[in-house]
C-alpha cells in the first residue's frame, strides 16, 4: 500500500486534528511538501484556514493544504493525525467519534506530560490504560485502527527546512495501519520509521519524549532518537 495514494487514484487526504499547534503544523508542512493532501483541523475553522495559509507560505511551492473545523476534517479524511495536548485528547475524541468513518486510521502523537496538570514537562502522568495511545483506542469506534507515532520528533525541527536526523517508532495492533504510518513518516526527509510492535509499546515511546524534553532543557537543543543495529529492511 502506498501512503496517501494508491496508483493513479486521487491522493487520500490526511486530516491533522488539533493541527494548529507546533506538532500539527510541522507534520502538515512536511507532508504537504511531500505532495500529500493535508487538512488542518481546529476547534475554529477560521484558525484552521489561517494555519493552512501559513503552511502554504512556508512551503514556498504549491501545496495541497486546507483548514477545517475538527469534525469536518474528520469526516473528510480516513487518515487522521491527532496532535492535541493530553488533557484535550479524551474529550476531543469523544466529540469526534461520530464523525469518524469505519476503516479510518487514527495516528496518535499524544504524550501525557505532567505539564498538562501544572507539573513538569520532563515528567509524565500515569494513564490507566497504559498510554495515551491505548486511551485513544478505547475512545474511537471499533472499526478505527489506532497507531502511535511521532512522539519523539521535535515540532520545531519539523517546521523548518533542513532534513531531520531521527527515527520514528510506530506501534499498532493493525499491521496495515502501522505500515501506512511508516510510509508517511519516511516521507519526511531524514526520518526513518521503525516498527515498534504492538500498541501497548506506546507506553514506552511516550515516556521517551519526557526524557528528550529534559535533555532539551539541559542542553538547549532538539533531541531525537536513532535505533541502531537492525537489518536495513527494518527501517522504512
Ligand X SMILES: NC(=O)c1ccc[n+]([C@@H]2O[C@H](COP(=O)([O-])OP(=O)(O)OC[C@H]3O[C@@H](n4cnc5c(N)ncnc54)[C@H](OP(=O)(O)O)[C@@H]3O)[C@@H](O)[C@H]2O)c1
Pattern 68-87, ligand X, x by CB under 6 A: ---------------xxxx-
Residue 147 interacts with ligand X (CB under 6 A)? no
Q: Is 187 exposed, middle or buried (0-12, 13-18, 19+ CB in 10 A)?
A: middle
Residue 45 interacts with ligand X (CB under 6 A)? no
Rounded to 10 degrees, the C-alpha dihedral 186/188/189/192 comes to -30
Whole-Å CA distances, 92 to 43, 87, 221, 229: 9, 10, 31, 39
* Out of 63, 111, 188, 223, the residue judged to bind ligand X by CB under 6 A: 111
Residue number with CB closer to ligand X (61 or 132): 132
Which range in 57-65, 123-131, 145-153, 223-231 contacts ligand X by CB under 6 A? 145-153
Whole-Å CA distances, 57 to 17, 51, 60, 75, 101: 21, 10, 6, 26, 31
* Out of 1, 6, 35, 44, the residue judged to bind ligand X by CB under 6 A: 44
Which range in 71-79, 109-117, 176-184, 224-232 contacts ligand X by CB under 6 A? 109-117
From CA 79, how far away is CA 38, in angstroms rounded?
Answer: 10
Residues of span 177-206 touching ligand X by CB under 6 A: none
Which stretches of the chain bind ligand X, using CB under 6 A?
18, 20-24, 42-44, 47, 83-86, 88, 92, 109-111, 113, 150-151, 153-155, 209
Amino acid at each position: 500500500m502506498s501512503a496517501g495514494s494508491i496508483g493513479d487514484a486521487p491522493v487520500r487526504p490526511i486530516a491533522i486534528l488539533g493541527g494548529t499547534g507546533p506538532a500539527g503544523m510541522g507534520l502538515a508542512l512536511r507532508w504537504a511538501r511531500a505532495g500529500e493532501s493535508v487538512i488542518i483541523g481546529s476547534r475554529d475553522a477560521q484558525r484552521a484556514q489561517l494555519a493552512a495559509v501559513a503552511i502554504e507560505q512556508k512551503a514556498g511551492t504549491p501545496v495541497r493544504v486546507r483548514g477545517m473545523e475538527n469534525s469536518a476534517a474528520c469526516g473528510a479524511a480516513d487518515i487522521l493525525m491527532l496532535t492535541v495536548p493530553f488533557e484535550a485528547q479524551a474529550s476531543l475524541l469523544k466529540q469526534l467519534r461520530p464523525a469518524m468513518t469505519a476503516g479510518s486510521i487514527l495516528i496518535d502523537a499524544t504524550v501525557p506530560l505532567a505539564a498538562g496538570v501544572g507539573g513538569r514537562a520532563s515528567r509524565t502522568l500515569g494513564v490507566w490504560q497504559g498510554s495515551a495511545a491505548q486511551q485513544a483506542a478505547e475512545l474511537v469506534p471499533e472499526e478505527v485502527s489506532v497507531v502511535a507515532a511521532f512522539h519523539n520528533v521535535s515540532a520545531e525541527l519539523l517546521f523548518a527546512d533542513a532534513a531531520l536526523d531521527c527515527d520514528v517508532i510506530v506501534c499498532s495492533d493493525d499491521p496495515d495501519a502501522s505500515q501506512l504510518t511508516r510510509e508517511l513518516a519516511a516521507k519526511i526527509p531524514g526520518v526513518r520509521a521503525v516498527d515498534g510492535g504492538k500498541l501497548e509499546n506506546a507506553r514506552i515511546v511516550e515516556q521517551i519524549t519526557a526524557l528528550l524534553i529534559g535533555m532539551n532543557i539541559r542542553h538547549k537543543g532538539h533531541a531525537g532518537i536513532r535505533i541502531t543495529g537492525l537489518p536495513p529492511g527494518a527501517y522504512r
